[in-house]
Structure 1
Amino acid sequence: MVAAGRHEADGRAPTRADDREHAGRAATAARLRDRAVATLRDRLLRVRGGLGLAAQAGLAAALSWLVVHEVLHVSQPVFAPISAVSTLAASVGQRLRRTIELIIGVTVGVVIGDLLLTLIGTGWWQLSLIVILAIAVALFLVGSAPVVIQAGATAVLIATLSPSVRDLEIPRFVDALVGGAVALIVTAVLLPLNPLRVLNRAAKPALALLIAQLDATSSALTAGDAGRARTARDELRQNQDEVKAFIEATQGAREASTLSPVHWHERHGPVGRYAHAAEPIERAMRNSGTLIRRAVTLIEDGEPIPAQLPRAVSALAEAVRLLKREFADGDEPDRARAQALRAVSAAGDAYRAGVGFSGAVVVAQVRTTASDLLVAAGLTQEDANRLVRRSFGELKPPSG
């Protein structure tokens, strides 16, 4: 519009170059608009996913304040709400550990701070020495960052406030204990997270990424398109955040189903199956990465690609899709197991039809990934390997 208006003003008709410029500007504006919409959507989803944590933190802060102020009659109950929120801020699945670390860190800070204040008094160099020794002792005892932070922070409080605030040590320790305990009660009893929902939310992007790139690789093998296979390879390499979130979610699900009476019955049901699946699914993603990398080489080197080979990779993608669906529904993953074995059977047919060196590696990775999926679906490694060998069929090398 701007370009057209300018041309009308100077009496010159728009040229083809002007049209291309206008089209380029329109395309850029569309891309920026799409990116802004996608960013807004991601942020809204992030807020939605964190609303449960926000509610837990708000309730835990309020309850810990009430306990310390109304029951224990502490006039300024600051540290208990802080301790509660600090516990809940830990990754889901590490809150019990964070509470223990919180108490250990506070204890170390109180003991070192109180002892050294008695021996050396107060002042700037005394503060420095107290913090150094508190952190050193925390590192010696545990070594984790939360313990070190709590020990150092508590030592600072004891060294700076004890001269003006009497009997600070015991309230500080009690605050940490009350805050951590209230956070765990909120997590386990009052506002427990649904462990299956936590797992589904975390597993969805990881499994969706694997499905998409296996499907893309199957299409690349069918079309002999090395570029498409390289794109799938590069996309799957960016899976560290998704895998990490999934593993943390399994830890959180175990914690929720262990601490929360509401979810005790799920420890050996859907949540137990999901938690067991995390490690083999991580292996399946690594082995799929090897499969896709070798598919790139296979296409680039012009090796033979039997029709059964892309079908095997496609069947593997469908096995992951079924596993994702059956886990999300809380069902026994029988269909995923059967589909994984169909992928192995197709890989065996491809091997006997004749493949090159890289093709044989792709076939081997289909077998290995299928075995990982079978273990994720609840089989033992021995049973998975036995079924894979049976489905693959004869290991007769290609003739010629």
Structure 2
Amino acid sequence: MVAAGRRGADGGAPARAGDDAPGGLAATMARLRGRAAATVRDRSRRVRAVGGLAVQAGLAAALSWFVAHELLHISQPVFAPISAVSTLAASVGQRLRRTVELILGVTVGVLIGDLLLAVIGTGWWQLSLIVVLAIVVALFLAGSAAVVIQAGATAVLIATLSPSIRDLEIPRFVDALVGGGVALLVTAVLLPLNPLRVLNRAARPVLDLLVTQLDATAGALADRDAARARTARRELRQNKGPLKAFVEATQGAREASTLSPVHWHQRRGPVGRYAQAAEPIDRAMRNSGTLIRRAVTLIEDDEPVPEPLPRAVADLAEAVRVLKRQFAAGAEPDRAREQSLRAVQMAGRAYREGVGFSGAVVVAQIRTTVSDLLVASGLTQDEANLLVRRNFGDL
């Protein structure tokens, strides 16, 4: 006789289908709850990250309207707040450039529109010709998408509204100037960004990714776990987005520390040092990718793994971790340098104990990555190379 239901492990009530099945309802609901919570967290982080931008944009829009309408007596200064918001919508670090592009684009559109209207008049084909020429001139002068858009949009306004609205050109130009100038005033003086915070927020994902995968590689070498090393290699390749954000953040930090009097003192201190670290950190990421790739081959080829080799990779991960903490604190990264050199010393010991072909490549990449980290900490390339050679020991 077939049992009515499978009984629980303790002999009690029958277990319900799906309670402990991997694909059951309970597991599905748990996965859905986890995804929903992760989505809420991601969107909350996004709001926190751009919340300051929203406040800056609101203040800049209101202030630019006030300046254009109340102080300059432009009757309908619609384009002043639009220009302000457009400037703030640019990537952090590109706002000064965006302001110049706005003004250049508007100027090209006004000049081309006025010149051609005086010669060929108004109409549908005249509008087409004016826009084409404005865009071509903007491309020739700057080549920037922002300049092209502003030149084309301004040419459309001049060609379509000038016959019915007199003296449109000067208010349009002044609106662009006021909007961009007010946006810079808001970001530089009224609500300035903290450049160190901008850098920390952008650098954290990059450095955390590098630390995590180097730690995983150290464990994979110690346990001869090729699958774990392959996973680390695959995960480290997902670095293009975080690296791009970090590079953009360095531009923003430089801009903030240059424009804002509040942060002028940081320009040559922690912010300057941090901003200059983007390129060597990028190199460290790429060299660590080679390190991990050769670690996979080392394990698969059953080469010797001297005990100091996993420790060297772990020390390298710790050096990145310490560098992140000292950068975040705005401190001189001296402890990060010391930790980096410990990784080189361990790599030297591993090399002298005996490694195979891929093991030698791993050792070489540890040396190269440490050199990158030392440069990121503020040393010159020659200083970094000399310290690496001294601490590695005899070949």
TM-score where L is the length of structure 1:
0.94
For residues 290-324 of structure 1, what are the alpha-carbon distances to aligned partners after superposition, in whole Å with 9 as ceiling and x for unaligned?
11111111111111111111111000000000000
Counterpart amino acid of residue 87 in structure 1: T
Cα separation, 1, equivalents of 2:333 and 2:271 = 13
**How far is 1:14 from its partner?**
3.4
Question: 2:178 maps to what in 1?
Answer: 178
In the other structure, the counterpart of 1:68 is 68
Residue 209 of structure 1 aligns to which amino acid in structure 2? L
- Find the aligned partners of 1:184 and 1:210 in 2 and give their Cα distance: 35
> What is the distance in 2 between the residues matched to 1:12 and 1:122?
86
- The CA deviation string for residues 219-254 of structure 1, in whole angstroms up to 9 with x for no partner, is 011111111111111111001111111111111110
Aligned to 1:258: 258
Identify the residue that residue 23 of structure 2 maps to in structure 1. 24
Per-residue deviation, 1:96: 0.4
1:12 is the counterpart of 2:4: yes
- Equivalent residue runs for 1:100-115 within 5 Å: 100-115=100-115
Aligned to 1:377: 377
Distance 1:319 1:362 in 2: 17
Aligned partner letter, 1:262: V
* Counterpart residue number, 1:34: 34
Partner of 1:85: 85
Q: Does 1:349 align with 2:343?
A: no
What's 1:207 paired with? Answer: 207
- Structure 1 position 27, deviation (Å): 2.2
- CA distance change for structure 1 residues 76 and 11 in 2, over 3 Å: closer, same or farther? farther
Displacement after TM superposition at 1:124 (Å):
1.1
Query: What are the equivalent positions in structure 2 for 1:1-400 lying under 5 Å apart?
Result: 12-14=4-6, 18=17, 22-25=21-24, 26-395=26-395
Please report the RMSD computed on the Cα atoms of aligned residues, expressed in angstroms. Answer: 1.5
Deviation at 1:29, TM superposition (A): 2.1
- Separation in 2 of the partners of 1:379 and 1:32? 49
Q: 2:234 corresponds to which letter in structure 1?
A: D
Tell me, in whole angstroms, the C-alpha distance in 2 between the residues paired with 1:19 and 1:169.
71
Q: CA–CA distance in 2 between the matches of 1:19 and 1:81?
A: 57
CA distance in 1, matches of 2:18, 2:70: 74
Distance in 2 (CA, whole Å) between partners of 1:194 and 1:386 is: 35
Partner SS state of residue 217, structure 1: helix
Letter in 2 for 1:385: N
Distance 1:11 1:68 in 2: 83
- Cα deviation for residue 28 of structure 1 reads 2.5
Change (3 A) 1:156 1:19: closer
* Aligned length, in residue pairs: 386
Structure 1: give runs of 5+ residues left out of the alignment. Answer: 1-9, 396-400
Listed as ranges, the gaps of 5+ residues in structure 2 are 8-14
1:165-203 per-residue CA deviation (whole Å, 9 max, x = no partner) reads 111111100000010000001111000011111111111
Secondary structure in structure 1 of the residue aligned to 2:23: helix
C-alpha distance in structure 2 between counterparts of 1:394 and 1:31, whole Å: 54
d(CA) in 2 for partners of 1:60, 1:259? 16
Please report how far the alpha carbon of residue 22 of structure 1 lies from its aligned counterpart in structure 2 after TM superposition: 4.0
Distance 2:30 2:135 in 1: 54
Query: Per-residue deviation at 1:24?
Result: 2.1
TM-superposed deviation, 1:21: 7.0
1:242 maps to a residue whose letter is P
Deviations 1:257-280 (A, max 9, x none): 000000000011111110111111
Superposed displacement of residue 359, structure 1:
0.8
In 1, the alpha carbon distance for the partners of 2:79 and 2:115 equals 21
TM-score, structure 2 normalization: 0.95
Separation in structure 2 between the aligned mates of residue 78 and residue 18 of structure 1, nearest angstrom = 64
Identity across matched positions, percent:
78
Q: CA deviation at 1:163?
A: 1.0
Counterpart of 1:7 in structure 2 is none
The one-character-per-residue Cα deviations of 1:307-344 (angstroms, maximum 9, x if unpaired) are 11111100000000000000111111000000000001
Match for 1:64: what amino acid? S
1:216 and 1:113 mapped to 2: Cα distance?
62
d(CA) in 1 for partners of 2:204, 2:160: 49
CA distance in 2, matches of 1:300, 1:81: 61
Q: 1:24 aligns to what SS in structure 2?
A: coil
**What is the match of residue 5 of structure 1?**
none
Task: Encode CA deviations 1:51-95: one digit per residue, 9 max, x unaligned.
Answer: 111111111000000000001111111000000000000000110
* Secondary structure of the corresponding residue to residue 4 of structure 2: coil
Mapped to 1, the partners of 2:33 and 2:103 lie a distance apart of: 49
